[in-house]
């Protein structure tokens, strides 16, 4: 629970109070499973949404006009071999 918030010398500081909550072990195990399932689902969901294909990434770099064709070829080759492409 957030008890106090203040800024001092451009530093933000949060002070939390500690509260102990006791729940039955079965409820804890259920909440733990639900939490893991949510993290797994959310991770896959956001990976699928945010990710561009390798050719799209390379084309975005090409459009800037800042990179040589040699670099762009190496970029495409590297991305194609990386875990970035395998997650598609």
Map out the domains of the chain as residue ranges: 23-86
Interhelix angle 54-64/69-81, rounded to 10 degrees, is 160
What's the whole-number average pLDDT of the chain?
A: 79
Beta-carbon contacts of residue 7 (< 8 Å; ≥ 6 apart): 13
Kindly state the helix (H) or strand (E) to which residue 73 belongs, with its residue range: helix 69-81
pLDDT of 47 reads 66
pLDDT of 30 reads 93
Task: Output the CA angle 55-43-74, nearest 5 degrees.
Answer: 25
CA distance 53 to 79: 10
73/50: higher pLDDT:
73
């Amino acid at each position: 629970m957030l008890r106090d918030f203040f800024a001092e010398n451009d530093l933000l500081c949060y002070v939390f109070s500690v509260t102990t909550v006791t729940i039955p072990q079965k409820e804890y195990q259920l909440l733990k499973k639900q939490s893991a399932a949510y993290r797994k689902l959310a991770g896959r969901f956001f990976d699928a949404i945010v990710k561009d294909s390798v050719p799209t990434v390379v084309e975005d770099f090409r459009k800037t006009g800042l990179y040589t064709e040699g670099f762009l070829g190496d970029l495409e080759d590297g991305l194609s071999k990386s875990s970035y492409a395998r997650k598609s």
